[in-house]
Amino acid sequence: MKDLTNLRQMNISEEIRRWNKVINNYPNRKSSACKFKINVDYILKNLCLECYREQLVSFLTMLPIIENDVPFEEADYILYMHPYARIEDASEFVLRELRFIDKYRKKDAEIIVLGKSANAERQLNGSIKNITFWGDHFAEKLGKRFGIDIKERYFVYDDREKHLAIWPVDGCLQKCGFCRRNYMDIKFESIPLEVIKENLDFIKKVAPEKMKHISLRAENLTEYGIDIYGEQKLDVLLELINSYDEVERFDFPIGLAIGEITPKILDALCNCKKIGDIYLNLETGSNRLLELIGKHHTNEQAISIYKDIKKYHPQADIHTTIMIGLPTEEIIDMYNLADLIVKAKPDYVFCVFYGNNPNQPLANLPQLSESLREYHLKILIKQLAKKVNFKMFFKYYRIFKNKSSKKTEKCKEVLKEDFIKAGLGAHYEDIIYFN
Ligand code: SF4
């Protein structure tokens, strides 16, 4: 069972400041006086603060270890991490870096691979010696190894966001065809309801004002409880949190799989106190493609769930992600997607291109060319321009990442004009600035 006894540390600003100090001082560091010679180059270099969970649950608790870092060539232990993205497979990069470290490390130095990058163990297949892989609870395992009392934290008051972030479950039991789940194992583990209650009671006692705004997060929240209770228990969890008078608002920024929202879970969501932001990913616009990518919902179910959420929480902002360029996608799918968006009425649509990767089953299907998927995007926008008659933010600023060709620039310009003409209520900066 997860040990949550260090719940006492709920404010993160101070730790973020320490973290920044470590990063800023990093190039000028001197050999540490610590009895263990630990190098963290590959944590600082690869650290992607995009991963809110790893940052708050694990990284910040690891600061006492990271602060004791020594230069690579002196190290007896080299800590390694890499944050994988949901649809981009970074395993080749991770393998390359681990082989590089293996080649240049000091004789007998141990490599310790942490978090999601520990999935490299299978691919390395014993080809690197003196290497340890800790995929889960790695901060605590490090603490034990180096004699520092470290506890991961699943209830963190984020004093920048002013919410209490709770991670009641880790992992996901699905294997959607576009997701890293197809090539990565992340242990599935829920926190028992009584432990969650114990923690909430504690927060209520010591800092009730910090319970006002709850941000419930997980890779797959809808599957909460399956490992412990043999069935989904998100509804019971929501009822529990809802029962605290101190709670005024819920956000669900990640982890609700539409196809796994049971009637009980839907009821519990509808009966929650005020919902601020809720993310429900439509993914694509036709039932054929949904089935192809392994999603368990249909367009009709998605529209019905969106309607219920809006009925009970008219103030809620519904966010969704859609993918363009899925294998076998046709122009008709863009028409269907536009129809779906018009019927479901999300407030925010985040549009990404499907990223093919050889480790996923979808890689065996015919892929769309770059120009074809850009054409699909254009069709979609034109359809939305004709049909959307409500306020909606359509973000696609990462879609042209790492591209600066004239053709891309031209495509961006055309899309921008389409948006402006369409008057979709899109956020102006998202149209202009493409990262
Ligand atoms: S439900 Fe979400 S986390 Fe799970 S496999 Fe599908 S996309 Fe990935």
Same domain as 131, residue 78: yes
Question: What are the pLDDT digits (tens) for 177-232?
Answer: 888 887 788 889 999 999 999 999 989 998 899 999 999 999 999 999 999 999 99
Same domain as 117, residue 31: yes
What is the tally of structural domains in the chain?
3
Q: Residue 426: pLDDT above 80?
A: no
Instruction: Name the residue range of residue 32's domain.
Output: 5-146
Ligand 1 contacts CB of residue 172 (under 6 A): yes
Element at 133 (helix H, strand E): strand 131-134
Same domain as 216, residue 77: no
Q: What pTM was computed for the model?
A: 0.87
Residue 257 CA: nearest ligand 1 atom is 1
Same domain as 127, residue 105: yes
Same domain as 287, residue 262: no
Q: How far is the CA of 434 from the centre of ligand 1 (A)?
A: 26
* Residue where one domain finishes, among candidates 256, 277, 298: 277
Ligand 1 contacts CB of residue 179 (under 6 A): yes
What is the model's pLDDT at position 262?
Answer: 98
What is the model's pLDDT at position 403?
Answer: 52
Instruction: Look at 147-156, 253-262, 323-332 and tell me which has the smallest mean pLDDT.
Output: 147-156
* Residue where one domain finishes, among candidates 277, 296, 323: 277
Same domain as 114, residue 24: yes
* Residue where one domain finishes, among candidates 277, 307, 331: 277
Side chain identity, residue 378: K
Ligand 1 contacts CB of residue 174 (under 6 A): yes
Nearest to 40 by CA among 18, 65, 15, 14: 65
Same domain as 140, residue 85: yes
What is the model's pLDDT at position 244?
Answer: 97
Same domain as 166, residue 137: no
* Token pair 């963190």: residue: 156
What is the model's pLDDT at position 121?
Answer: 92
Alpha-carbon distance of 220 to 216, in angstroms, equals 11
Q: Residue 30: pLDDT above 80?
A: no
> Domain containing 169 — which CATH number?
3.30.750.210
Q: Whose CA is nearest to atom 8 of ligand 1?
A: 179
What is the model's pLDDT at position 5?
Answer: 46
Same domain as 340, residue 301: yes
